[in-house]
Amino acid sequence: MRLVIRPDPEAASRYIAEYIVDRINAFAPSADRPFVLGLPTGSSPLLIYRFLIAAYNAGRISFRHVVTFNMDEYIALPRDHPESYHSFMFSNFFQHIDIPASQVHILDGNPPDGDYAAECARYEAAIRGVGGIELFLGGVGSDGHIAFNEPGSSLASRTRIKSLAPETRRANARFFCGDINAVPRMALTVGVATVLDAREVVIVATGASKASAIQQAVEGSVSHMCTLSCLQMHPCSLVVVDEEATLECKVKTVNYFRGVEQTAQQASEMQEKQDGLVHTPPRLHALNTNIAAATAAAEDGELTPDSMSSRISPSPKLKMLSVRSATIPFALMRT
């Protein structure tokens, strides 16, 4: 897991939007080889979607060969309800870009004959049918849940029906005029294992209300009580936060990840000089770097390689850097 810290929600969202733009463009999707993107709903990704729309309007990105899969949908809420996730995605993103409607996949909270199990199986099959998800973007709840995988969810779970925790319903009541009784009690959601199957996972978390979840996921052990912590087991996961979302983290932890980013930035600049390039194609690589440089770059008291379980294998050519404790976008270091 890699943690990227930005000053505020706007900077964090811009970082992720630029990352997605660069990833899609580097992938060079086509009709036969689309870029498969997993997407969330809620307030966390709204700024990201606005930045992506701006990039599309500026001609920097096309979504014509992008296929999307959303994380979840409420059960029994009409599709055209203003707070259904189908309505949310089209009003806040899809209707503003050039993605064909046939390439948009959102779980059906009102399946024929009420067969929710069949709908979940169909969704998993559809993901497999396009070769899996290339990048899954997600948010996180204040209790550490991803998608609607509430505390206690199996880390091996797949797309299924979930009961929504009271805390989640209280948090979402703001979208239903503050009336918690109007918030559905059940939802369909991709599972933890569905998210982990994606080749990359990028999470956005901003605000002090997410600080406890970030602390548990980054500094705690892997636990079904904080499903975000599952990203510790993913080879290419990126968590982008603002300053307030790190309030519960140890100073040593924050300094460590700042140091890792500084080292990766320096390595990227060296690589660009060697290759004579202004910008190299972005890929989220496992990096083989000397963490001692990151340690020296950060403040006193930073976590050591031993305490972060980051043994390293230096690469003399700096082509790729590999760190067990942090996976870094080699050519996508943004200020």
Residue 245 CA, chain-centre distance (Å), reads 15
Structure tokens at 322: 């590999």
Residue identified by tokens 């989640």 is 168
3-state class (DSSP) for residue 318 = coil
φ, ψ of residue 274 in degrees (nearest 5): -65, -40
From the list 162, 151, 150, 160, the residue with the least C-alpha distance to 186 is: 162
* 155 vs 224: CA distance, rounded Å: 6
Listed in order, strand segments (DSSP E) in the chain are 2-6, 35-39, 66-70, 72-74, 104-105, 135-138, 160-163, 186-189, 200-205, 237-242, 284-285, 328-329
Do 292 and 308 form a contact (C-beta atoms < 8 A)?
A: no
From the list 76, 41, 43, 40, the residue with the least C-alpha distance to 186 is: 76
Structure tokens at 175: 């979208």
Structure tokens at 23: 């990833």
* 212 vs 199: CA distance, rounded Å: 27
Do 144 and 227 form a contact (C-beta atoms < 8 A)?
A: yes
Residue identified by tokens 């959102």 is 106
**Catalytically active residues, by annotation:** 72, 143, 145, 150
* 143 vs 140: CA distance, rounded Å: 8
